[in-house]
Structure 1
């Protein structure tokens, strides 16, 4: 009986400590703009468009003829994937790769006011390589790129939400 009371008091104390420290679940970001023009056609661009539209606070315009309707313009300056050899074995065969995802962008108004200057986001992951499991390693590489892409999208969303005024 005393154990139950102790556990009950402990759980209540833990809940009170968490609520007192300012802990809160992450909410959908709020943006200073309601329309954004972007002409990104890559996988990352599709993911970013979906993330922005899922907030239901931003309309993403991708038609260049409607560019004047947008409050802000997201210019993509670079979007590239790289695969670099990290290590070789004694026979000169690849043992490790480093996968990199680079995304450069800036955010401006149609009038030319720069809201987010030229920014580069770099994600990298190391992956071992074994020539006897090539298909499995290709699948792992695809998953790592997708994970890096999701990280980049979340970083872009946070940076767009940090813009407070146009």
Structure 2
């Protein structure tokens, strides 16, 4: 037991000494951001709000914001990627796209229309339809979270260039 504890302590010390740290939220140079063009109950909007650091507040008015994210397109596609000779679906391709632009509080364009996309292939069997529905929801959530992180990284880079 003592040997296991000693191993754990030495492993922890080794990792902290090499600079290992858990991933931190993207540091944004803005404290007030407006999100426009999203549907009222958009899961993508929820993921972006969740990905924002605690120091950043979402405001309703673009005039009160330091940066404005304008959604031009927020879509989910589900297409058949593979099927059997009998016509049964064996694999779906899920695709989430977010087309957006970044603007300043006065409406000046910081980043023109940009499209981010994530896709995943998902196996499918009719006998496990309920489980596959849950798997699909999880994959879509993960893809949206990844797109939100990419968007915030672009926003952070835009802020560094503006300085």
**TM-score, normalised via structure 2 length:** 0.79
Aligned match of 1:57:
55
Q: 2:93 aligns with which of 75, 92, 98?
A: 98
Matched, 1:38 2:68: no
Cα deviation 1:97-136 (Å, max 9, x = unaligned): 1000111111111333322332211111111111122112
Question: How many Å separate the matches in 1 of 2:48 and 2:89?
Answer: 34
Aligned match of 1:27:
24
Question: How many Å separate the matches in 2 of 1:13 and 1:132?
Answer: 45
Q: Which runs of 5+ in 2 are unaligned?
A: none
SS at match of 2:87: coil
Question: How many Å separate the matches in 2 of 1:94 and 1:101?
Answer: 20
Aligned match of 1:84:
79
Q: 1:158 aligns with which of 133, 153, 156?
A: 153
Q: In terms of mean alpha carbon deviation, does 20-29 or 103-112 score higher? A: 20-29
Q: In terms of mean alpha carbon deviation, does 107-116 or 66-75 score higher? A: 107-116
Instruction: Using the TM superposition, give the Cα deviation of residue 143 of structure 1 relative to its aligned residue in structure 2, in angstroms.
Output: 1.2
Instruction: Using the TM superposition, give the Cα deviation of residue 25 of structure 1 relative to its aligned residue in structure 2, in angstroms.
Output: 3.7
Residue pair 2:79, 2:94 contacting (<8 A) in 1 also: yes
Name the count of aligned residue pairs: 156
Q: Which runs of 5+ in 1 are unaligned?
A: none
Residue pair 2:69, 2:100 contacting (<8 A) in 1 also: yes
Aligned match of 1:72:
67
Matched, 1:110 2:105: yes
Larger Rg: 1
SS at match of 2:118: strand
Question: How many Å separate the matches in 1 of 2:82 and 2:17?
Answer: 49
**TM-score, normalised via structure 1 length:** 0.78
Question: How many Å separate the matches in 2 of 1:130 and 1:28?
Answer: 37
